[in-house]
Structure 1
Amino acid sequence: MAHKVVSIAAGEAHTLVLTGDGSIYSWGRGLFGRLGTGKEDDELIPAKVSFNPSSKNSASLYPPVGGTNQPKFVGIATGAYHSLALADDGSVWSWGYNSYGQLGYGKENSSVPCLVEQLQELGSDSSAHLPGNNSATTPLKISSVRAGGMMSFAIDNLGSLWMWGQCPQPTDTGELCLISTPSSLPVWDFHGRTVVKVACGNEHVVAAVTSGESYTGSGLICYSWGSNTHGQLGLGHKESQPRPVVIPSFNEESTWEVYEIACGAYHTAILAQKKSYGEDIQCRCWTFGLGDNGQLGNGSTISSDLPIPVIGLPGDAFLISLDCGLFHTAAVSADGEVWCWGMEKGLGLCPDASYSGADAGDALHPLRIRSPETNGFKFLGPIQIACGAAHTVLVAGEGYRMWAWGRGRNGVLGRGVTNDSYTPAVVSWPPLNEQDIKELQGGGGSGSSLERNEMERETERRLSEAMERLSLMERYANMLHISIFRKQLDERKLKESFQGKVVFDIRREFESLLGNADGDDLMRMEGFYRSMLASVKDEILKRRVREMVNESLASMSTGRRHG
């Protein structure tokens, strides 16, 4: 489980992943300390984030459950330049940019994770319990976190919503204003309901909330509030809202039921399925808000203040994950098909790092992303997709593989180089250990700044070449495996003698494979071999016929000349 990715989140130019053993890794731009590594250096490949319970902010008062040095984490979130993590004991940690109080403490940035003490205190402060919940018998504990722009959110185990940072709030006169605060503020508007999911853009918020008091796995309706200058609240107008308002298209009477929400800077995307009542389940992606770069996927660059279905997604595809970048949107289906739309062919690339010639331009409709792994349009074992400002990351392989594309500067793609990639590139995962990095750097050591820069460039070059060769080798190995066994190669089932080795005895391993194969495998291998042998014999015969024809033609030509 140490290398299985269970969740992913992308900020403006950084990415976080949560693994099955409760660890967190980060990579990309390090400015403001958003990576949590204790410094502001960029990380070109995934680096493990360390959590010190005895660090600043009185975190030593709250040792992690079990007394271990590292808390076990169950949730992650990213804003534009900051990060959040949720531990299994309900504690919330934050790091990165903090000018608006989005870390939940003070005003200074932090390059290391620190505990958000106010949320830790909720469970012991009876006055913090929200009305309408069974607070007398159930202590508060944070169960999920979310972030976006310069604000942060948390949902507790009673279904109440908390927010801090630069948050939309009503003034005394009822007007909308953005208040910057490190204090966790309760959202009082969902009395008698349970908040299940929340998403936020630069200045707007969308929440999926139950129609009744408790969540039964269905029956979610949608609320939105905040800035509405581009119609990103989906209310049919562009008037900003200081408090949550039901989105009419997804209210209790709607024939569509929301199950996933995402926000870009100024647009919103929603996944909803048709209330079946015995019919086949249908799902659809809806978007609204700013459409200047085609991020709504409606075939135009026109903004919309009402939810409209995305044009071009197949009606039979069941979408399992959705996310929005700054000006692009992405979705993935249960079958592993991935679509992107919006700025620069759906890559979200900025104008100074874009396509050129006939390929230039924004994607106004969803574009299917080709999988280098299968040489088709399906990624194996899809899990989740996440969008940064100008990059996209897909978790696949049942959580054991990651692909990234878009802007590559600052190491945002996690593949050891800073080049942009217009097609999915393999993220360097599992992460390299210290010994691997030292070997790539030629043993490390000190030297001049010029020598270190040259060494870093050489490391980038070698990593890039290695990743390209690895991707090519994996592709051919997978094709061969499919040809013989009629199924995809699962690297987790490789023998231990294969794993972690650069060189191995292929003859011995093949003999071992034959010895351990069952009857069906042997019959398929025999069929594959006979097919190859027949093809070889056919090719030899064809070549021999061509040689005889050429010899005859040459002989006839020579005879005519002599005649």
Structure 2
Amino acid sequence: MRSWKRCISLLAALLLLLSSLLPAVPHVHAADDPVKLPDEEVRTYVYSFGAGGKGRLGHGDFNNQMSPKQIEYFRGHKVKAIAAGSEHTLVLTEAGEVYSFGRGGYGQLGHGDNEDQSLPKKVEALAGIKVKAIAAGDHYSLVLTEAGEVYSFGYGLTGRLGHGDDENQSLPKKIEGLTGIIVKAIAAGGGHSLVLTEAGEVYSFGSGSLGQLGHGRDAHQRSPRQIAGLSDVKAIAAGGLHSLVVTEAGEVYSYGSGYYGQLGHGDTMNQSLPKKMEALTGIEVKAIAAGGMHSLVLTEAGEVYSFGNSYHSQLGHGSRLNEPIPKKIEGLTENIVKEIAAGNEYSLVLTETGEVYSFGLGDSGQLGHGDGRIKPVPEKIQGLSKVSVIAAGLTHSLVLVEEIIPNSSIAPHEATFDKNPAEQQDVVVSLTLNGNELTGIWNGPAQLAAGVDYEEDGSTVTLAKLFLAKLPVGTMTLEFRFTAGKARTLDIM
């Protein structure tokens, strides 16, 4: 038995010695690992429509757009969020960068000046700070960072910027009054601001002339102050002169101006303290939106309720009668709504199928229907699909479209060629196109000649041995490009 074990040990040692004498085989991973890469790529496009004054639509001019028009600047950018203010616009990319355009007269664009911008311009002062969310109000802006900090800039009247004064800010400035508090959501209104913390608490600052700050008095607040009595809040909304919050339990509270019934309490009284909306008892609310003088509520079931001012039919009920109590919009009952937005005197809703409906005042094209007419009931915006986010401002609108592009793939991802040209063979590469087409193969800056360097028959590419024989010794990468989706690479060694 011991002699057998000794023989096995000697054999293993011999094999180890022989393996050490063999040349090492180089192995280079492809740049695009098929296991790690998704089968799909998401591309985003931003469209704007409505009033174009001061360049707020981002098209390089000041013209109104009666129908959605793509903002060319954002082709190739991955956009995450959009925000429409009174006369300016903010756009947030997946990289955490903020772009602004439109009116800059109060510094609300954050570029260190008061110049208008008719094309998107990156807010350089935020370089190195990854932004998580954006909000655009009446001539001012708020940004929320990944670290939970809030910066503000623009018009400072009534303390809406939260810096303890009424000064305008032309560059983003961190709100020191929120130091030590992790913020998860922000809202910018007509002249007041709301922030929601990770702990579910709400702070407010700015104009409190009608109780919209929720502190029990009609006074301005120039630094953030916690609203007593509100807890477990999951969403906030700041309107022209009123505020809405929804709790984790799906209950809605409102305060501020109630002149048109926009607080939903069945009367036209102002409220300086948050008051629960009893009319929604038993209805679990998912999201809220506060417009100039009206409100929208989205339920977990995908239904929409509206209340408040309806002078231009912005409530979507087919009439101009104000509604002091939440009323379901019957014109949307065939749709499951996933997002709502309230502008000054109009409304937008986004369905689960990626379609957008609008209603209310459309004089500047903010409804996107190609005309300036009032729409008394929800009407689908033609030509828009695959929409993922909507935003409504004073008189202009934005939508974010997400298009899923299937990626093509190749196999194998690496190949070898013989250093002896006389022994070289063709290399066959299989293609999975997923509806795309191969547009070319590149070796660095040089494009391979189809029909000479390679042949394609739709499902395979054959790299010619004469082409391979001309390659210098070493490893190089060929890039396969397609009509859509990501390029794929083949390492040849």
Deviation of 1:107 (Å): 1.1
Partner of residue 369 from structure 2, selected from 382, 402, 415: 415
Q: TM-score, normalised by structure 2?
A: 0.66
Find the counterpart in structure 1 of residue 360 from structure 2. Answer: 406
CA distance in 1, matches of 2:123, 2:163: 30
CA distance in 2, matches of 1:310, 1:164: 33
Find the counterpart in structure 2 of residue 22 from structure 1. Answer: 44
Q: Note if 1:383 corresponds to 2:347.
A: no
Against the structure 1 CA distance between its residues 111 and 170, is the aligned structure 2 distance closer, same or farther, given a 3 Å change threshold? closer
Are the equivalent residues in 1 in contact too, given 2:303–2:336 (CA < 8 A)?
Answer: no
CA distance in 1, matches of 2:370, 2:134: 29
Q: Note if 1:247 corresponds to 2:227.
A: yes
Find the counterpart in structure 2 of residue 371 from structure 1. Answer: 331
Write the deviation string for residues 441-476 of structure 1: whole angstroms up to 9, x where unpaired: xxxxxxxxxxxxxxxxxxxxxxxxxxxxxxxxxxxx
Identity of aligned residues (%): 27
Number of matched residues? 344
Against the structure 1 CA distance between its residues 169 and 158, is the aligned structure 2 distance closer, same or farther, given a 3 Å change threshold? farther
Paired letter, 2:125: Q
Partner of residue 92 from structure 1, selected from 84, 87, 98: 98
Match runs of 1:194-205 below 5 Å:
194-205=182-193
Q: TM-score, normalised by structure 1?
A: 0.58
Deviation of 1:266 (Å): 1.0
Match runs of 1:540-555 below 5 Å:
none
Partner of residue 150 from structure 1, selected from 121, 139, 148: 139
Against the structure 1 CA distance between its residues 169 and 363, is the aligned structure 2 distance closer, same or farther, given a 3 Å change threshold? closer
Deviation of 1:170 (Å): 6.6
Find the counterpart in structure 1 of residue 197 from structure 2. Answer: 209
Q: Note if 1:290 corresponds to 2:245.
A: no
Are the equivalent residues in 2 in contact too, given 1:98–1:107 (CA < 8 A)?
Answer: yes
Write the deviation string for residues 109-168 of structure 1: whole angstroms up to 9, x where unpaired: 111111111011xx2xxxxxxxxxxxxxxxx31121111111111111111110100136
Find the counterpart in structure 2 of residue 549 from structure 1. Answer: none
Q: Note if 1:107 corresponds to 2:114.
A: yes
Against the structure 1 CA distance between its residues 334 and 345, is the aligned structure 2 distance closer, same or farther, given a 3 Å change threshold? farther
Find the counterpart in structure 1 of residue 269 from structure 2. Answer: 302
Helix, strand or coil at the partner of 1:248: coil
Find the counterpart in structure 1 of residue 88 from structure 2. Answer: 82
Paired letter, 1:297: G
RMSD of aligned alpha carbons = 2.6
CA distance in 1, matches of 2:193, 2:157: 8
Find the counterpart in structure 2 of residue 393 from structure 1. Answer: 348
Paired letter, 1:291: G
Paired letter, 1:114: K
CA distance in 2, matches of 1:115, 1:243: 28
CA distance in 1, matches of 2:185, 2:221: 19
Deviation of 1:48 (Å): 0.6
Helix, strand or coil at the partner of 2:106: coil
Write the deviation string for residues 375-401 of structure 1: whole angstroms up to 9, x where unpaired: xxx3433211001101100000x2421
Helix, strand or coil at the partner of 1:330: strand
Deviation of 1:239 (Å): 2.3
Helix, strand or coil at the partner of 2:364: helix
Deviation of 1:286 (Å): 0.8
Helix, strand or coil at the partner of 1:231: coil
Gaps of 5+ in 1: 1-18, 53-68, 124-139, 211-218, 274-281, 373-377, 433-495, 497-563
Write the deviation string for residues 243-266 of structure 1: whole angstroms up to 9, x where unpaired: 11110121xxx4xx1011001111
Match runs of 1:396-545 below 5 Å:
396=351, 398-430=352-384
CA distance in 1, matches of 2:313, 2:58: 26
Deviation of 1:176 (Å): 5.8
CA distance in 2, matches of 1:269, 1:407: 22
Are the equivalent residues in 1 in contact too, given 2:46–2:71 (CA < 8 A)?
Answer: yes
CA distance in 2, matches of 1:321, 1:78: 18
Are the equivalent residues in 2 in contact too, given 1:401–1:429 (CA < 8 A)?
Answer: no
Are the equivalent residues in 2 in contact too, given 1:168–1:176 (CA < 8 A)?
Answer: no
Write the deviation string for residues 172-209 of structure 1: whole angstroms up to 9, x where unpaired: xx996432221111011222221100112122111001
Find the counterpart in structure 2 of residue 264 from structure 1. Answer: 239
Deviation of 1:70 (Å): 2.6
Q: Note if 1:116 corresponds to 2:123.
A: yes
Helix, strand or coil at the partner of 2:126: helix
Partner of residue 297 from structure 2, selected from 331, 339, 343: 331
Against the structure 1 CA distance between its residues 42 and 154, is the aligned structure 2 distance closer, same or farther, given a 3 Å change threshold? same
Greater helix share, structure number = 1
Larger displacement relative to structure 2 (337-346 or 37-46): 337-346
Paired letter, 1:83: T
Are the equivalent residues in 2 in contact too, given 1:103–1:182 (CA < 8 A)?
Answer: yes
CA distance in 1, matches of 2:87, 2:353: 25
Find the counterpart in structure 2 of residue 463 from structure 1. Answer: none
Kindly indicate whether structure 1 or structure 2 has the higher relative contact order, using CA contacts under 8 Å at least 6 residues apart: 2
Against the structure 1 CA distance between its residues 20 and 306, is the aligned structure 2 distance closer, same or farther, given a 3 Å change threshold? farther
Write the deviation string for residues 341-397 of structure 1: whole angstroms up to 9, x where unpaired: 111279448xxxx98xxx55321111211136xxxxx3433211001101100000x
Structure with higher Rg: it is 2
Are the equivalent residues in 1 in contact too, given 2:313–2:374 (CA < 8 A)?
Answer: no
CA distance in 1, matches of 2:327, 2:337: 17
